[in-house]
Structure 1
Amino acid sequence: MLRKRHRILYLGEDGVRGHSLLVPVIVTISFLLFVVTMYVNDCPAHSHNCTLSALGRLSFQPLSDNPLFGPSSSALSKMGGISSDTVADKHQLWRPFSCIWLHAGVVHLLVDLISLLFVGIRLEQEFGCVRVGCIYFLSGIGGSLFSLLFIENRVSVGSSGAVFGLIGAIVAEIVPNWSKHEGKSPTFMTLGVIAILLFIIGLFPHIDNFSHAGGFLFGLLLGYVFFAQADFDWSKYQIAPHNRLTDFSTDTNKKMCKMFVCVVVVLLLAILYLIFIVLAFKGVNGNDHCSWCRSFSCIPSSHWNCGGDSKSHAVCKYMIRGTTMWLTCEVNQRSQTYSGIFALSSIKQFCAELCS
């Protein structure tokens, strides 16, 4: 049961109510997986223009490839990032879960994990790791499934959708219990700042604002199921003459109404998950019906490429002299120099990375 008056993101007079275990574990695993992803990426083996090359195998891709100081799209895909072809063509349905553990770069990692620590630890202390964990992972998966309708051939990763799910759950808890909360204005201001930061980071390559929107939607619904103990005055909404069944002032009928709404929300969640899974398997492209959706997910820039139609990928011109190869992507006009002896399959891989 909720206490009479408490704060979600700020400590009340009674202080901390519990311990946080799940959120620190998620943060630790996410950080370690980012290091592993950079090791798998191995930029020096594929490019001589790596950022912070002193880091050796852990050095970052050129900023023109990844402006967030991170790996290439191919490395993110190997580690479990989502894209329309891996889910629609290869039916790898595990990717909407695996992608929420990965991050596109150091900037992305810091923004996501700091936001998660700030929001998640307080929620876990208040509601426990089971409920917070269910909301985090289910909203993250739901956001990833929604994202698949718009990312096309691009690789997308990140836990931002899951963090947005926690934000949506907070909104779902506060609004029905408005009178029970202190510090609502600073709470919503804090959530607003976090949401704006996550939205801005979602305009960069390999991150998708549609996963944020989907995560928030699922978080709202999941928040009602796991968090909200709505204290509505049901007597204001009587739709029948007063009798034993419509007397919403009794505890029994209040519980019945809450249970009914909860069942409806659970059914709606199941339907939404089913719809998004079917659409993802069919490879439906939401951008065909929305002219501005690509810009909502990634702002095109001369400094990076947002990706696009799969037909546009792997179209390169190359010239080889001795052990030196010059490769130019015809889609974004990026050029790269490579040293070594290359097979045709290697050239195709380099071309795909250069055009991603």
Structure 2
Amino acid sequence: MSDLGEFALIARYFERSQHPLPTQVVLGIGDDCALLQPTPGMQWAISSDMLVSGRHFFADVNPRTLGHKALAVNLSDLAACGARPVGFTLALSLPDADPAWLQGFSQGLFALADAHHCPLVGGDTTRGPLNICITVFGETPPGQALLRSGARAGDDIWVSGTLGDAALALHCLWGRDQLPAEALALARQRLEQPTPRVALGQALRGIATAAADVSDGLLGDLGHILERSRVGAELEALDAINLLAARAHITGASGTFDPHSQADSTALRYVLSGGDDYELVFTAALESRLQVESAATGCGTRVTRIGRIVRDPGVTVKAPDGSALHGPWASFDHFAT
């Protein structure tokens, strides 16, 4: 049990007076409110996410990786909007003020914050079950924010990075699946230290027609785009399954796809409905392919075309022979799980 008080806790682990604030932050930590001033001609982009112990992370998770993930999931929302980070607030409920835990958590949090020039500008702490709530602030030029509502029939569907490895790692930690130790370590890193695609989101402004971040599973988050845009989608199973970096370890496959294989079916399920990837799924006109690839190359980020937007609502997953696949694919829902 630590005798560290609330204000001493904040001062020791979360105040960083030696770090200069961006011009948009007029006043940071120290008063009842932070004061933010948007860059002239820009709009605010604001998002909140909550991480709850036992629901979003294991109680014994490394606090440094938890600090990283807590901010990463919020920065991923800014990325999906094409916004540049400005600052964030942190509301933190702790069962105890453990100095070692706080040191690790704040180090992971600020390492990612510094990488994206996104300072902590305020928040709150209290005693209670471990619960982390971050609100992040970004800015984007008017009319250039990436939304979910702009996809059009004929658009390509793209995904950044890889998908499914985070969910695979989680199932391995639960004892429901297995990976070799080295592969599990890499997959677990995808689960605990996702990479928010902030630079890619900004690079896609004016190119992507719609975007969302993949937090609850590809089908679910792509579904938000389809619903808001009033369109449907066709996905290529072979392109999708190759997004699973650890695929070879559970299927032994070498680029082919067998719709009758249990292993391939499992791998495809991780990709389509796994969640916790924090990659971007986005759409762009067919004639914008070179622009998409150039934007991704400039950001050092892999992107993959996995399908196309169609007029009729719904999603069809197609096997290499053109037939439709059906599977137990359901994205994560906090109140249905």
Same fold flag (TM > 0.5):
no
Q: TM-score range by the shorter chain?
A: under 0.3
How high is the TM-score relative to the length of structure 2?
0.25
Q: Which structure has the bigger radius of gyration?
A: 1
Q: Which has the larger share of strand? A: 2
